[in-house]
Amino acid sequence: MAFRNYILVCGGTGCESSRADQIFKNLIAECEAQGVADEVQIVKTGCFGFCEQGPIVKILPEDSFYVQVKPEDAKELVAEHIVKGREVKRLLYDKEKSAKHAQVEDIKFYQKQFRIVLRNCGFIDPENIDEYIAREGYEALEKVLFEMTPDDVIEEMKTAGLRGRGGAGFPTWMKWNFTKQAEGDVKYVVCNADEGDPGAYMDRSTLEGDPHSVLEAMTICGYTIGAHQGYIYIRAEYPLAIHRLEVAMKQAREYGLLGKDILGSGFDFDIEIRLGAGAFVCGEETALLQSIEGHRGMPTPRPPFPAVKGLWGKPTVINNVETWANVPVIITKGSKWFSQIGTADSKGTKVFALTGKVCNSGLVEVPMGTTLREIVFDIGGGIAHGKKFKAVQTGGPSGGVITERDLDTPIDYASLQRIGSMMGSGGMIVMDEDDCIVDVAKFYLNFTVDESCGKCAPCRIGGRSLCNILEKITRGSGTLEDIDRINEISLAMKKGSLCALGQTSPNPVLSTLKYFPEEYMAHIVDKKCPSGKCKKLISFEINPAKCIGCTACARKCPVGAITGEKKQPHTINPAVCIKCGVCKETCKFGAVEIH
C-alpha cells in the first residue's frame, strides 16, 4: 500500500494530556469524511521531545511541523494540507517560512541533538512491532544469537564503553561480566524503570516511544549472562508506558522473539512486568529487588552486589531504561562507531529532561561533552520571559547546582562530579533570578526526607535535621552556627547512610552553599531574601508615587489587606497580608514592590 502523506501524531504522555489522542481520532475521522483515508497513514508515535510546544503533529513528506494543535484543528489540517496541499500556516512552528525551508532539522531545538536512545521516538508507531523491525529492530538480537558468543558480546560492550545512565555511571560491561562469571544456574535480568527524580521523564518517554528497544536489549543480556527470565520494574503511575510494554511483549511473543526457542536458536527468554507504587527509594537497586520479591522497598547493604547475590539471591544484572535502549544500537552499528561519540571517559549520548525556566522545555539527547550553555541557550532557547540565568540543577535530589561560571564545561560523568553535581538520571531544572537558592535546596531536601525509607539513622534523622535548619534560615531565624551544623550533618549522612539516597541527599544544600554563600548570608545576617521568595523575610508595599488608585489590587486581594480611596494611592496592611503576591501580579503600573 502506498501512501502519499504520513501524519505523525505525538502519543507521549505530555501530548496525550493535551488531548493528542482526540486529535489522532479526529484526524482519522476527518480523513474518512473527506475521502482520503486510503491515501494517508496516520501514526501515533512516541514523544518528539519538543514538549513545550505540544501537542505535536508532523506531516510527511512535506515535513511540516505543527505545534500546539487542538482536536478542532483536525478538520482544517485534513482539508487544507492533505486535500488541497496548502500548509496551515497558523499552526506551523515557524510561521514565516514555507514547507520547503521550515524542516524539522532547521528548528534550533533539534540542531545540536544526536539521537541514539530516542532514535525511533516520534517516528515509529510504538504499538506496531513491524515498524520497529523495519528500523533495524531485532537485528542486534539476530546477530548476537547466531554470530556471537557471550564473550564476544561482553567484549563488544567493553569496547563501546557504555556506562549506566541511571545515576552512578558504572560501566555496563562490567556488571554483565560479573553476573556472567558469578556461579549459579539461575540468573536474572532486571530493567529499572522506576524513574523518580523530580523533572526527569526520559525513561518514561523511551518506553512509550520505543518499548521494543528495551525488550531486545534485555534478551541480548539474558543470552550473554545465561539468564532466561527478565523483570521490568516500573511505577504504576506510568500507565501509558506499561500499556505499550504489554503490547510490545505480546507482539514479540507472537513473533517468537520472546519465549521458548527464540528464532529457532534454542535460547529461551521471557520478561514480566512488576509494578511499583512510586517510592523514590525503589530506584535504588537493592531496594528495587526487595520490592520485586514482594518485600517492603528498603535497601540492603552492598556488598554483596546484585551481580553476585541479587533477585531471590541469584546473580542479577540491573540496568536502567536508557542504558538498555543503547544496547541494540551498539551491537548493530558496532562498538567502534559508538565509542567515537562522546568524550574520553563518557561514550555515547545522554538524554536530558530540560525543564524549569527555559523557553523550550522538552527531551534533549546530546553527545556527551556538549556544554551546558549549548543545552540551555541553543537547544533550550534561553531563559523564558527575558529573565537572567541563575543556575541549573542536574542529577535531581542527589545532584547539585551548576552556575554561570561552569556553563562552558563539557558535560560528562567526571566533569559534572568535579563541579559538585552529578549526571544522575538526567533531569535538568533551569532556575532564573526569581528563584531563591535556599528555597530550592529546601525543596529537594523536603523531597528526600519524604522519600527516605527510614531504615538507617543518618538518612532518617540527618535529613530531617537539615530540613529544620533550612526552614529556620528561610524564616529569618538562622544563625552563622547553622552553616557549621549543615556541614557536620551532611558529612555524617554521606559517610553513614546505607544507600545513595541518604549519601547524596545533602548534595543540593552543599552545592548551593558553595556557589551562593552570599544568598545564605543575606538570609542569616541581613534577614532578607534577595529573590523575594521566602515569605517570612519579605513585605509587600505599594509605592504611592506609582499607584493611580485603580483599585484592581484591592479587589483581587483574597484577605482584604489593601485599602484606599478610588484614584488615591492604596496601602497594604502588613498585619493582614498573607504575602501571596496576587497584588503584584495584578498591578499594571509596577506600584507593588517587595521589600
Partner 1 sequence: MAKMTLEDLRKLREKKQNELNKRDINGKDCQVIIGMGTCGIAAGAKVVLDTFLKVLDEHKITNVAVTQTGCMGLCYVEPTVEVLVPGMPDTIYGKVDADTVRKIVVQHIIDKKLVADHVYDRPSADIIKNGGR
CB of 87 to partner 1, least distance (A): 10
By CB under 8 A, residue 255 contacts partner 1 = yes
Smaller CB separation from partner 1, 257 or 587: 257
* Residue span 214-253 as binding mask against partner 1, x where in contact by CB under 8 A, dash where not: ----------------------------------------
Q: Tell me the H-state helices in 4-57.
A: 13-16, 20-33
Residue corresponding to grid cell 496525550: 16
For residue 81, the Cα-to-chain-centroid distance in whole angstroms is 34
Smaller CB separation from partner 1, 37 or 263: 263
Smaller CB separation from partner 1, 103 or 339: 103
Stretch that binds partner 1, among 59-67, 232-240, 491-499, 580-588 (CB under 8 A): 59-67
Stretch that binds partner 1, among 26-34, 61-69, 278-286, 477-485 (CB under 8 A): 61-69
Residue corresponding to grid cell 532564573: 432
Q: What is the spatial order of strands in the sheet that 427-432 belongs to?
A: 362-367, 349-356, 427-432, 389-394, 400-403
Cα three-residue angle 544-550-553, rounded to 5 degrees: 80
Q: What is the DSSP string of 431-467?
A: EETTS-HHHHHHHHHHHHHHH----SHHHHHHHHHHH
Q: Looking at 21, 39, 152, 593, which residue binds partner 1 (CB under 8 A)?
A: 39
Q: Looking at 17, 32, 70, 85, which residue binds partner 1 (CB under 8 A)?
A: 85
Query: Which amino acid is located at 396 in the chain?
Result: G
Stretch that binds partner 1, among 84-92, 399-407, 516-524, 528-536 (CB under 8 A): 84-92
- Please write down the HEC assignment for all residues of 334-399: CHHHHHCCECCCCECEEEEEEEECECCCEEEEEECCCEHHHHHHHHCCCEHHHCCEEEEEECHHHC
Q: Looking at 89, 108, 146, 236, which residue binds partner 1 (CB under 8 A)?
A: 146
Number of CB atoms found within 10 A of residue 586's CB: 16
Q: Looking at 107, 263, 491, 577, which residue binds partner 1 (CB under 8 A)?
A: 263
Contact 48, 122 (CB under 8 A): yes
**Short-list 526, 350, 477, CA closest to 422:** 350
CB of 42 to partner 1, least distance (A): 12
By CB under 8 A, residue 408 contacts partner 1 = no
Per DSSP, the three-state class of 428 is strand
Applying the rule CB under 8 A, the residues between 180 and 219 that interact with partner 1 are none
Q: Looking at 33, 134, 236, 480, which residue binds partner 1 (CB under 8 A)?
A: 134
By CB under 8 A, residue 266 contacts partner 1 = no
Q: Looking at 16, 52, 142, 519, which residue binds partner 1 (CB under 8 A)?
A: 142
By CB under 8 A, residue 414 contacts partner 1 = no
**Short-list 360, 438, 509, 424, CA closest to 164:** 424
Q: Looking at 28, 29, 37, 60, which residue binds partner 1 (CB under 8 A)?
A: 60
CB of 217 to partner 1, least distance (A): 17
Applying the rule CB under 8 A, the residues between 515 and 534 that interact with partner 1 are none
* Residue span 5-34 as binding mask against partner 1, x where in contact by CB under 8 A, dash where not: -x----------------------------
**Short-list 273, 269, 367, CA closest to 321:** 273
Return d(Cα 318, Cα 282) in angstroms, integer: 13
Smaller CB separation from partner 1, 264 or 301: 264
Cα three-residue angle 155-156-158, rounded to 5 degrees: 65
Contact 19, 57 (CB under 8 A): no
Task: Enter the C-alpha cell of residue 17.
Answer: 494530556
Q: Looking at 22, 34, 41, 159, which residue binds partner 1 (CB under 8 A)?
A: 41
CB of 125 to partner 1, least distance (A): 10
CB of 510 to partner 1, least distance (A): 47
At a CB cut-off of 8 Å and minimum separation 6, what does 82 contact?
5, 7, 31, 34, 36, 39, 40, 59
Applying the rule CB under 8 A, the residues between 108 and 127 that interact with partner 1 are 123-124
Q: Looking at 76, 94, 139, 268, which residue binds partner 1 (CB under 8 A)?
A: 139
Return d(Cα 312, Cα 328) in angstroms, integer: 28
- Interface residues toward partner 1, by CB under 8 A: 1-4, 6, 39, 41, 60-63, 83-86, 99, 103, 123-124, 130-131, 133-139, 142, 146, 254-257, 259, 261, 263-265
